[in-house]
Structures are given as C-alpha cells and as structure tokens.
Amino acid sequence: MASVLVVEDDQFVRSALIRHLTDAAHTVRSVGTALEALREVAQLRFDVVVLDLGLPDLDGSEALKMLRGITDVPVIIATARDDETEIVRLLNAGADDYLVKPFSVEHLSARMAAVLRRARSAGAEPQPPCVLRVGGLTVDALRRQAELDGVRLDLTRREFDLLAFLAGRPGVVVPRRELLAEVWQQSYGDDQTIDVHLSWLRRKLGETAARPRYLHTLRGVGVKLEPPADGEVPR
C-alpha cells in the first residue's frame, strides 16, 4: 500500500478522499494549502501526491512547479479545468497524471495504481548497464543521461523513459498502446499524453513534427526513433 498526501482545501472532498484511501489500506496525510504541502513533502516521504489546483494560497500549478523543485514524487492533479491548453501546461509543469472533477473514487484508484506501478518498477528494476547510440544521440540507461551531438539533454523523468524505450528499438515502429503499457504502465488512455511528451522531446532534439530528424510518427500506427538520413545537417 502507498503513503499518500492529499492536498485539497474543500473539506467535503478532502474527507471523502481520506476515507476512501484509508479504506483501501493506504496511509494518508492531508493538508489544505500549497505551503503546507511543500512542508510535508520536504519533511516526509510519500509515494504519491493528489494535488488540487484551486488552493487558497497558491495556484496548484505553481505549487506543482515548486514541488518538482524538491522532489520527483508522482503527482496526480485533481482539477476542474478540462481545456487542452491547461492540461498540456500541467503535464509540462511535471504532473504524472490528472483527473478532471468530478471523478469517481474508482477512477482515482485506477490512476493511482498505474502511477505507483510505474514508480515502483522504476525503482525495483536495475537499469541495463549499457549505452544506446542512435546517430548522434547517446542514451545512458544506467546513469539516466542523454546527449545529442555531445550536448547533454535536460529531460524530465518521463521524457527520458520514453526516449530510452524508443532508443532501445531503433527503426522499429512502436504502437501507441505499447508505449502506454511500457512507459506509462497504463493499459488504457488517450493519445494526448504521448503526443505532448513527443512534442517536448522533439523540441529538445531540435526538430518538429513537420521536419522530424529522429522521432517519426506514423499516423494511426505508432512512433519510431531512427538516425537522421545520410547527409542531413545536424542542429
């Protein structure tokens, strides 16, 4: 079972989440402000944080950025904001997943289970002691470092996981369902999460979807990573 921090200022919602998570044998602590959440995370170890955006002291997205400055604990956002721009902004700020209110406790449990499986498998499984090379791209799975043409890439945890998974299968078209299962540890989900992370990776690799160098999307099929064509000028 997991140690969970619930960050929610609505007392009714907060009590319901605490009751459900406790009934599911999780250890739960809860706070109602962003600053309290930061203090909790700085002092205690949690397996996952459920973070509301509508907090009284700081906007939850700002709290998320501050959390990411001190910990890589998985964060599930609980938000009433369901527009695409906001969701992309949350993922860009470091969220591992999100739920749009109102949501069922069963839905929260499923998302938590997926996030926890990913976090635990990453910590339990030893990284392969090898360096993957695809063109000018180097991925060191053991040190969790990646370089492009000798320049270190600043990647988030999920970006690195996605890049390493594709780099281990150069030239192979990986179905989106397989990416969800292996990188996100989810048996279901929409394509938006994959597209967002691919967009960030392309930006850091100096390419775009319209002019790809390493990452190629085959519409309706999947994604592949392969070295640039001969004679292509590097960035």
Whether 233 maps to a domain, the answer reads: no
Across 13-42, average pLDDT? 90
Residues 116 and 218 in one domain: no
Q: Give the mean pLDDT of 175-181.
A: 86
Pairwise CA distance, residues 166 & 173, whole Å: 9
Q: Choose among 158, 135, 131, 126: nearest CA to 146.
A: 131
Work out the pLDDT band at 50, boundaries 50, 70, 90: very high
What's the pLDDT at 235?
A: 45
Q: Is the pLDDT of residue 24 over 60?
A: yes
Retrieve residue 193's tokens.
């999460």
CATH of the domain at 146: 1.10.10.10
Check whether residue 9 and residue 79 sit in a common domain: yes
Residue 194 lies in a domain: yes
Q: Examine the domain organization and report whether 28 and 118 are in the same domain.
A: yes
pLDDT value of residue 54: 85
Region for residue 125 given its phi and psi (left: phi exceeds 0; alpha: psi -120 to 50; beta: otherwise): beta
SS3 readout for 144-162: CEEEECCEECCCCHHHHHH
For the cut 50, the answer to whether the pLDDT of residue 28 exceeds it is yes
Q: Is the pLDDT of residue 106 over 60?
A: yes
Q: Length of the chain, please?
A: 235
Do 40 and 141 fall within a single domain? no
**What's the burial of 81, exposed, middle or buried (CB within 10 Å: 0-12/13-18/19+)?**
middle
Q: Let me know whether 135 and 27 are in one domain.
A: no
Indicate if the pLDDT at residue 95 is higher than 90: no
Does a structural domain hold residue 59?
A: yes
Question: Which amino acid belongs to residue 20?
Answer: H
Residue where one domain finishes, among candidates 75, 101, 122: 122
Buried b (16+ CB within 10 A) or exposed e, 23-45: ebebebebbbebebbbebbeeee
Residues 103 and 206 in one domain: no
Q: How confident is the model at residue 92 (pLDDT cuts 50, 70, 90)?
A: confident
Q: Residue 235 domain-assigned?
A: no
What do you get for the CA distance between the two ends of the chain, in Å? 46
Where a domain ends, among 122, 145, 176? Answer: 122
Q: Are residue 135 and residue 216 in the same domain, yes or no? A: yes
Q: Is pLDDT at 188 greater than 80 in this prediction? A: no
- Which structural domain, as residue segments, surrounds residue 156? 131-225
Q: Provide the phi-psi class of 185: left if phi over 0, else alpha when psi is between -120 and 50, else beta.
A: left
Q: Is residue 231 part of a domain?
A: no
Give pLDDT tens digits for 68-90: 878 888 999 887 777 777 777 78
Determine the pLDDT at residue 200: 92
Structure confidence at residue 123 as a pLDDT band (50, 70, 90): low
pLDDT at 126 > cutoff 70:
no
Kindly indicate the confidence band of residue 189, based on its pLDDT and cuts at 50, 70 and 90.
low
In this structure, the answer to whether residues 201 and 118 fall within a common structural domain is no
Q: Are residues 161 and 111 in the same domain?
A: no
For residue 153, is pLDDT > 90? yes
State the pLDDT at residue 190: 62
The last residue of one of the domains, among 122, 157, 173, is 122
Q: Domains in the chain: how many in total?
A: 2
Is the model's pLDDT at 169 over the cut of 60? yes
Q: How far is CA 116 from the centre of its chain?
A: 12
Q: Which two tokens stand for residue 122?
A: 């990453």
Residue 19 included in any domain: yes
Quote the mean pLDDT of the chain: 84
Amino acid at 203: R
Mean pLDDT, residues 101-111 taken together: 81
Under a CB-based contact definition with an 8 Å cutoff, are residues 205 and 213 in contact? yes
One domain for residues 111 and 164: no
Pick 101 or 191 by higher pLDDT.
Answer: 101
Distance CA 135, CA 44 (A): 43
Residue 152 inside a domain? The answer is yes
Q: Are residues 137 and 34 in the same domain?
A: no
Q: What is the CATH number of the domain that holds 77?
A: 3.40.50.2300
**One domain for residues 79 and 104:** yes
Task: Check residue 225 and give its pLDDT.
Answer: 94
Q: Which two tokens stand for residue 56?
A: 């009284």
Contact (Cβ atoms closer than 8 angstroms) between residue 203 and residue 235:
no
CB 153 within 8 A of CB 204: yes
The rounded Cα 217 to chain-centroid distance in angstroms is 20
Is 153 among the domain residues? yes
pLDDT at 120: 67
